[in-house]
Structures are given as C-alpha cells and as structure tokens.
Structure 1
Amino acid sequence: MPQAANYSPIISLISSVRLGSYRITFRSVDECELYGIYIWSQHAAASIYPLLQNLEISLRNAIDKEARARFGERWWERIQSTRDRGDCHFHKNIEKAKDCLTREWLKKERRRRRGTRVEHLQVPVWTHDQIIAATDFSTWHHVLNNEYSSPVPAENQRYLWPKSLGKVFINYAKINPNQQRVRKNLTDLIFELREYRNRISHHEPLWVKSPNVNNARAAIDTIREKINKIELVIEALDINLLNIMRKVGLFDNARRVCSLDELAIYRYTKPFCSMTPEQMHVIETHCWQAKQKNETIIWRNNNTVYGLRTIR
C-alpha cells in the first residue's frame, strides 16, 4: 500500500516553500498525505488545462475571424487605434509573434545547415495564419483595450469595437447586457483567467491565496470559481462551443477532480463503497481487465457513458 512507503526522501526533492502552502492550507497529518495532496493538485491542474486551452484558442479565432471579415488579411495593419501603434500592447505582441517565427526559422536553418551562418538568408514572409498562431494569450486580452474602440459612433467602421463585439461575443449579455460596459467586464475576466493559466503553467498552487483561504474547502471553492468563470466567458463566445465541451465531459471532469471527494482519494481518507459478493462477482472480470490492460472500461446506460479504471 502507498501509505507504507517512506516519503521523506521524496518530500526532500520538492521545495519546502512550495509544500509549505499545502501543509498550511490542507492541514496534512503526515508526509504520505502531504504527497497525496500534491499529486491531487497536479491532476486538478490537468483537468483545468483543456478548459483554458479551449478558451484561449476560441477567443483568438473568434476575434480573428470577425476582424478578417471586416478588414481583410492582416487586419491588425488596418484597424484604427486612438494611440500610436508602437505604444499598443496588442501591436507589440503581433511584432513579437513575427520575431518568434523568425527566430525559430533561423534556429532550424542553423541546425539543418550544421551551424553555418544563416543571417544573410532571406527570411520567409509569414502568412496571416502563421502570425496569428504564434501569438500568446495576452494578445487577445490587449486587443479588447479602449484604444481599439471608436471614440464616436461616426467612426465605428474604422475601429474593431464596438461594432464587432456582438459578432465575437455572441452571448455577451450573459455577462452584462450593457454593450458599453461589458467589454470592460470581459477584459477583466480574460485578464484574470490568463493570469490563472500562467499560475498553472508555472506549477504554482491552483487555489487563491488569501487569509480566509485556510482549509481545503475554501481552497477548492476558489478553484471551482475559476472554472465557473471560464464557463461564463466561453458561453459569451458561443453557446454551441459550451454545449460541446459539456457533452464531452470537460466541465464535469474538472469539477469532479476539483472536489473534496476526489481530494479524499489522494489523502487516503475516502471510505471504500460497500459491495456484496454478488456485486463484486458482476464487475470482477471488468476490474481484472482494467488492471491488466491499464485501460478504462466503459459502458453506456440511459445515454450516459461510465468508466471503470484502476486508481492505484
């Protein structure tokens, strides 16, 4: 059993500062439980990643699709801004994406040419789609800024916002029916979720640290609040995307993993369900198959798919 293992050498390989927040927040009783909580947090992060990835890609493509329809290829060169483009974070990010493409191309050419100088070579002209794909999440947060919003209705055609707001965020009224205020709400939400994505990418704790977040329930509540906000922004983008993500189980999976019940499995404190010998006999073959083949056994009941797999 995992509880019988010696966890001291393993714990020593993890930063004591990093584990300190786990000890304080989740109040682990021993090193076995502490390591279980640490592993649970990694599973929790993995369950949230698809939600954030869908949000980032869908937001990027929704803005690009609408802007391209209005302003054409390389629309960022045509949209009006109330500030000089060199001072706008969005345009800086576009240039950064081009530079990244060029650096990667030069690196590959050096490798292909076995280290010979390649600076004299003609760099490819990057396509619209290549540039868009090379941008980071912050690009699509910055393009929502006020400098891309028309200061007067007479100039709406030259600016991205507010004319394109209802085409990009089809259901923006779910957040705020006031079109003049909702872009600020969206900007704040997307900035918050982008920062959260960065926390996950840097392996920082998933929960929001604050004086009142001092136990497992409070910590998990802050994680589930982030899941709710991701769901809200995706609904504002497109209800069809939200429905598909729900149908394939992305939100249910994240909420299942980010729960006290799931945490209890990794703390070795969740009780086993009681089963009769007859019930055990029914599933015994499937349990053996799940263990021997290390796979999830699935079945359908009333149009719902269930799974059976080994946990440890």
Structure 2
Amino acid sequence: MNWNDLKKHFSPARLGRYRAARGGDVGRAAADYASNVLLSEAMVPMLNVLEIALRNGIHARLSRLYGRADWWEAWAGDPAFTWQNKEVGSAKAKLIRRHEPQTPDKVLAELTFGFWTSLFNVQFQAVLWKDLRLVFARCPKPQRQRHNISAALNRIRDLRNRIFHHEPLLWLIPTLLEQHQTGVTVINWVDPELGQWLGNHDRLPAVWADWTSRP
C-alpha cells in the first residue's frame, strides 16, 4: 500500500508526524507507522498482566479490610469516594444493559484502570494505604511509599491510554522501552515470579530493538 493510500485510510494529520520525523521520506515514515502498530501490540502483555494482578491484589486486600467481597458498597454515600462510587455505578449499569448478574467478579472486571490507580491518590493515604501497600509486598521498603506507587501507576495509565488511542509511541520521553520497564518493575513489586512469567511472553524489548536498529 503506497503513502497516498495510507493517508486516505489513516488521515494526513495522523501520518504527518511520521513524515516530518523522517524529513519527508514517505517510505521510512510508512515503515515507522507500521512499527508503531507492532509496538502497540507488543505492549499488551505487560499491560494485561499489570492491570489484572493489580485489581486482584487490591480486591484481596480491600475484601479483607471491609470483611466483604463487594467492599465498594461500604463507600456508598461517603463523599470521599464520590468519583469511585460513580465509576462503580457505571460498571453496574453496563452489566444491567447486558443482562448480566452484578456479582463482585463481574463488577471488578468492568472497573477501569483509572479506578484502580485512583485508590492510591493522596486523599486515601490514611484510609487505604496501610492495606494497599501490601499489594506490593516485594517492593523494597524505602521505595514502598504511596507517592512512589501512585506516580508509577499514573505513568502506566497515561501510557495505556496513549496506546489504546493509537497515538505515536516512537518518540516518547522517557522512551517506550523505559516506560515499559516501569510496568515490569511494578509487576515485580507484586510478585517477581509473575514478572518472570511475563518475560516468557513479552515481545516489547525485541520489537523495540528491531525499530531502533533501523536507519
């Protein structure tokens, strides 16, 4: 497919940055666009493992803290959790539209990554952090501070949103590879064996090396 065909399907505005980065060389720009697609794909395993492990770890800790599997119901009417309650309501509404039961497992699966990362915000330091820090049992104690965890999760959330909105990944600062490593580090804070398992399925470093080795 030639450059004009790509522009027809992907828009001149979307492809313009790739062309500018290659000084107008449309052949190299088209190759970069393809590489961006492959890099987006290669990021999915890390994001998948991190999000699912994070939400299940949080679920385990908060179920124990509140003594119930639907721990979010303990927040009903609490103004400190107004946004979180709204997100839970949206999750339940989706299940109702699909005629699915509102079981704890179903609600958990519908909650967004933004919901999970929000639980590490500063306003929940006194309420949740003592329990949620245990999700990251293998994080070195000097680093296991709420602000460190929150910052890392928010960087990953921003990257996740960029990927799922199909934005360029080639010129990020820090680089995509460095941001990917942040996600791997957080996974290892949860469980190093999980990080090792991911390593057996994670193609991002190889795909990144392939792109960066090109002229």
- What TM-score do the two structures reach when normalised by structure 1? 0.61
Q: Please tell me whether residue 148 in structure 1 is matched to residue 111 in structure 2.
A: no
Distance in 2 (alpha carbons) for counterparts of 1:53 and 1:69: 24
Question: For 1:267-288, what per-residue CA distance to the aligned partner results, in whole angstroms no more than 9, with x for missing partners?
Answer: xx6xxxxxxxxxxxxxxxxxxx
In the other structure, the counterpart of 1:19 is 15
Distance 1:133 1:13, change over 3 A: closer
Distance 1:95 1:256, change over 3 A: same
Residue 137 of structure 1 and its aligned partner are, at CA, apart by: 0.6
Residue 19 of structure 1 and its aligned partner are, at CA, apart by: 1.4
Residue pair 1:68, 1:74 contacting (<8 A) in 2 also: yes
In the other structure, the counterpart of 2:151 is 188
Q: Please tell me whether residue 254 in structure 1 is matched to residue 204 in structure 2.
A: yes
Larger helix proportion of the pair: 2
Aligned residues: 214
Residue 195 of structure 1 and its aligned partner are, at CA, apart by: 1.4
Q: Which has the larger radius of gyration?
A: 1
Q: CA RMSD in A?
A: 2.6
Distance in 2 (alpha carbons) for counterparts of 1:257 and 1:178: 30
Q: Please tell me whether residue 51 in structure 1 is matched to residue 46 in structure 2.
A: yes
In the other structure, the counterpart of 2:133 is 165
Distance in 2 (alpha carbons) for counterparts of 1:191 and 1:178: 16
Distance in 1 (alpha carbons) for counterparts of 2:75 and 2:9: 51
Q: Please tell me whether residue 95 in structure 1 is matched to residue 89 in structure 2.
A: yes
- One-letter identity of the residue aligned with 2:106: Q
Q: Please tell me whether residue 76 in structure 1 is matched to residue 72 in structure 2.
A: yes
Question: For 1:98-154, what per-residue CA distance to the aligned partner results, in whole angstroms no more than 9, with x for missing partners?
Answer: 11211232xxxxxxxxxxxxxxxxxx751111111111111101112233332xxxx
Distance in 2 (alpha carbons) for counterparts of 1:41 and 1:28: 18
Please, which runs of 5 or more residues in structure 1 have no aligned partner?
106-123, 151-158, 214-220, 270-312
- 1:154-233 correspondence runs (5 A): 159-166=127-134, 168-173=135-140, 177=142, 179=144, 182-208=145-171, 222-233=175-186
Other structure's SS at 1:9 match? helix
Question: For 1:47-87, what per-residue CA distance to the aligned partner results, in whole angstroms no more than 9, with x for missing partners?
Answer: 01111111111100110012113322211223699x61453
Please, which runs of 5 or more residues in structure 2 have no aligned partner?
none
Residue pair 1:193, 1:230 contacting (<8 A) in 2 also: yes
Q: Please tell me whether residue 126 in structure 1 is matched to residue 102 in structure 2.
A: yes
Question: For 1:238-283, what per-residue CA distance to the aligned partner results, in whole angstroms no more than 9, with x for missing partners?
Answer: 112111112x141xx2111012x34556xxx6xxxxxxxxxxxxxx
- What TM-score do the two structures reach when normalised by structure 2? 0.86
Residue pair 2:36, 2:169 contacting (<8 A) in 1 also: yes
Distance in 2 (alpha carbons) for counterparts of 1:264 and 1:12: 29
Distance in 2 (alpha carbons) for counterparts of 1:75 and 1:6: 54
Distance in 2 (alpha carbons) for counterparts of 1:165 and 1:6: 52
In the other structure, the counterpart of 2:98 is 104
Other structure's SS at 1:93 match? helix
Residue 12 of structure 1 and its aligned partner are, at CA, apart by: 3.7
Residue pair 2:18, 2:30 contacting (<8 A) in 1 also: no
From 232, 243, 266, the equivalent of 2:196 is 243
